[in-house]
Chains A and B, each alone.
Chain A
Amino acid sequence: MRRRIGIDVGGTNTDAVLLEEDAVVASVKTPTTADVTGGITRALAGLLERAPAARQAQAVMIGTTHFTNAVVQRRDLDRIAAVRIGLPSGASLPPFVDWPEDLAAMVRGEVVMLEGGHEFDGRPLVPFDAAGMREAARRFRRAGIRSVAVAAVFSPLNAAGEEDAAAILREEIPDVAVTLSHRLGRIGLLERENAALLNACLVRLAMKTTRAFTTALRASGIEAPLYLTQNDGTVMLAEVAETYPVYSFASGPTNSMRGAAFLSKRDEALVIDVGGTTTDIGSLRHGFPREANNVVEIGGVRTLFRMPDLLSLGLGGGTRVATDPSLAIGPSSVGFRLTEEARVFGGDVLTITDVAVAAGLIDLGDKKRVAALPPALVEAVLARVRAMIEEGVDRMKTEAGDVPLIAVGGGSFLVPPRLAGVSEVLSVPHQSVANAVGAAIAQVSGEVDQIFQDLSRDEAIARAQRAAEDKAVAAGADRATINVVEMEDLPLSYLPGNSLRTRVRVVGEIAR
């Protein structure tokens, strides 16, 4: 029997679920701990108590926001070296050029720009300055730097420069961690380099964290391999993922959307995840979140990460309701203090949860404490909530007709059963642990984004697809189960020879 454990380490709760084939057989919700692993150990203990078979799981998938938080909160980051290969091009815009000064000052150890890089068609721009690289590597070692980010001009098309630099760095600095930009990003040197720099700052923390995860897992008597979930709803083996922490930046919302798809058995739908403070609305396409288009900023750093396209509303179970001078909902929330401050829990703050209890949408705390709320107020608040959700749903829809809406998250009782523009509101079992379910069902992906010349469109796409499949297999996918989930081609103006930028993304099940 196929058994998988999914764990979601959120800011407030750590959730764990056991899946047997396609059924959720046990779930646990425990508070997240400051050391992260304590919460995981406790969640696993709870899971094993309810379902001893969890010990026989073949895979454990963890989703965590730990690394994003490290960047946003400016903690546990390494001082690194940045190597840019591409002189004489780009000299005026060195690495870190568009970073927030506080973050740059914290992590910027050494910065080196060297001759090398390629043209859009793969020709060398100028020869790679290997001697300069060796000299710089020696300087890095003397400066005590152990993590280096390397970015070369057009490296997604020709990675030779970055690979050559990595070989020299490894020769000169025995325990170095090297992040190569072409493994992380697409065309767009600064954004790709930023991703590599962020990754290099996090790589030691990621190694420490994933190893602690593994230790917690083994201490619980579970021998299965550990995977970490990524922004795009797929996973990487922990020993691979620990070298690419930036890939897990948005895994939280992605997992909840994927979990919603799985629990509802719908691949094309909108998902609404109502938490304590915010509500996220996203769109599922082929069972995966639709990605945001644009540049994504992480802790003030501009990147091109694959992130789900989400609309966040200041609405959740802990959202404050003000009645004076007029009715106002949020955006502030009592957050994790809900169970102390909300009226039904003995506090004196009127929250959305109190109104929901008064309306009979959910049974929580002491109902009598909200019995005196005027029915007209309750009705007005719920009408306002409905309007907020309907407007949010409308913004995220990409087709004119009514679409199904899957409601998940601890506050999903707030989603009315019927909404304008929605064909049906799907309420699913285990909806409050949809995140952990999403982690448990994650797949493995491969992606290629490359410019092809003098090929027919079909030929270019076929070539990109083969390369993407090879990448997925290298990341642990079973080749027989691979599917194309995204395909995009963009002819390039001004470039000769019918240049076509082709992006293909494939996913597959984890090979057993």
Chain B
Amino acid sequence: MRPVTLDEIESLAIGAWILGTGGGGSPYLALLNMRQLYKEGVTCRLMEASELNDDDLVAVVSNMGAPLVGQERLTDPKTMALAVTMMEEYLGRKFQAVMSLEIGGGNSIQPFMAAAMLDLPVIDGDCMGRAFPEAQMTSFAIHDLRMYPLTLADVRDNAVVVARAASWKWMERISRKACVEVGSIASTCKAPRTGKEIKDCAILGSTTKAIGIGRAVQAARRAHRDPIDAVLEVAGGIRLFAGKIRDIARRTTEGFLRGTAEIEGLDDFRGTGFRLAFQNEFAVGWLDGVPRVMTPDLICVLDTVSGDAIGTETLRYGQRVTVIALPAPPILLTPKGIDHVGPRAFGYDLDFQSVFA
């Protein structure tokens, strides 16, 4: 267990937005909350999963809803903490730590907000190693862990407990319905996990990894070096393409933002084209019509100059972007993992082929 500095949370915000692979929502507002909390004297602690006892209880938290609504109904640490204490009351047991559902995007910082309010440590890890759009796309689901109970807190005096669900899909449907009803934004505490489940089934070290990526970007900017080179170096990634966005098509189907982006090559990639398909997060990329990269390999689109991540909602015509791939956590690459989060889980009839193979 060690204290986390505000500088590290600043780095986490940059790194987590890159690991968001286009989804997860911008971490900016969550970061602002942390700046406020640290100004008030809070210091969060980061804990290795190995420090947990097997029967300890860990709260897995996330802010659920539409990123756009989150831009108006600003995230608040009190609501996040409320979802956690509701779960404690429901279970009649106290949590020993909190952990992020997904390290990609704004949810990377949500456990720190809860932890600051409840004086609990944050586990260095998550259960996606990136961001994914659906509840069953987690390492816990791949390991067939139980998906209930779930608590959901609204900023008003509304609270929901989903006591049971027949499957991960049912949990997604029921909790989504409640979330939409309270204005498409809510704080949630997912099914509680034991220390043993965290040690065996979570994606460990992802918080530290995201902080490291953010730090590398900041250091490169200060030294006027290419921040994208720095990301590739620190995260073992591959530069796939660089160019300008030529076309964007987006549509909402089944509650997700789906679409494609066409990028026209620049510099070393002049004369070639890249096509990206996304469902909240980037799922598949084609170079001149040939599949080049696919989920669960992390497909990240970065501003070519600043190295800042660009979300699928903020992709715009004419942006100069670089597409990179980062390696996926090993659990996602197992045959069962590929069933849950491989290209077919997103509706693409492709056999998974890693760019890192």
A positions within 8 Å CB-CB of B? 86, 88-93, 97-98, 117, 119-120, 125-126, 153-154, 187-190, 283, 290, 293-294, 309, 394-395, 397-400, 451, 490-496, 498-501
Contact = CB atoms under 8 A, between A and B. Distances in A.
A500 to B, nearest CB: 8
B255 interface: yes
A398 B76 CA distance: 40
A43 to B, nearest CB: 36
B183 A93 contact: no
A362 B33 CA distance: 56
Contact of B36 (A88, A97, A395): A97
Given A490-B313, A491-B250, A190 B74 contact: yes
Contacts of B246: 398-399
B66 A187 contact: no
Contacts of A500: 252
Contact of A187 (B71, B176, B184, B252): B71
The 8 closest A-B pairs by CB, nearest first: A491-B252, A493-B257, A90-B74, A494-B66, A398-B318, A119-B183, A92-B76, A89-B73
A498 B244 contact: no
26 contacts: A88-B155, A89-B74, A91-B76, A92-B74, A92-B76, A93-B36, A93-B74, A97-B32, A120-B69, A125-B156, A154-B72, A189-B71, A189-B74, A190-B32, A293-B319, A294-B314, A394-B266, A491-B251, A493-B66, A493-B252, A494-B66, A494-B184, A494-B255, A495-B68, A495-B180, A500-B252
Contacts of A117: 72
A146 to B, nearest CB: 28
Contacts of A93: 29, 32-33, 36, 74, 76
Do most interface residues of chain A lie in helix, strand or loop, or is the interface mixed?
loop
A426 B93 CA distance: 75
A314 to B, nearest CB: 14
B73 A187 contact: no
Interface in B131-181: 155-156, 176, 179-180
B319 to A, nearest CB: 7
B320 to A, nearest CB: 7
Interface in B61-91: 65-69, 71-78
A109 B268 CA distance: 54
A492 B73 contact: no
Contact of B180 (A399, A494, A498): A494
B264 interface: yes
A184 to B, nearest CB: 15
Contacts of A399: 246, 264
B38 interface: no
Contacts of A395: 320
A147 to B, nearest CB: 24
Contacts of B356: none
Interface residues of B, number: 42
A86 B318 CA distance: 35
A293 B66 CA distance: 20
A309 B318 contact: yes
B280 interface: yes
Nearest to A156: B72
B348 interface: no
Contacts of B65: 494
Residue picked from A117, A293, A501, most chain B C-beta under 10 Å: A293
Nearest to B33: A92
Contacts of B196: none
A498 B252 contact: yes
A491 B73 CA distance: 19
Residue picked from A92, A98, A309, most chain B C-beta under 10 Å: A92
A500 B253 CA distance: 12
A120 B250 contact: no
A205 to B, nearest CB: 29
Given A493-B67, A493-B252, A495-B69, 16 more contacts: A86-B72, A91-B76, A92-B76, A93-B33, A120-B72, A120-B184, A153-B73, A189-B74, A293-B319, A397-B244, A399-B264, A494-B65, A494-B176, A495-B180, A495-B184, A495-B252
A93 B183 CA distance: 19
Nearest to B31: A98
B238 to A, nearest CB: 24
Contacts of B319: 293
Given A93-B29, A97-B32, A490-B313, A496 B180 contact: yes
A491 to B, nearest CB: 3
Residue picked from A290, A309, A495, most chain B C-beta under 10 Å: A495
B328 to A, nearest CB: 22
A503 to B, nearest CB: 12
B316 interface: yes
Contact of A153 (B72, B179, B318): B72
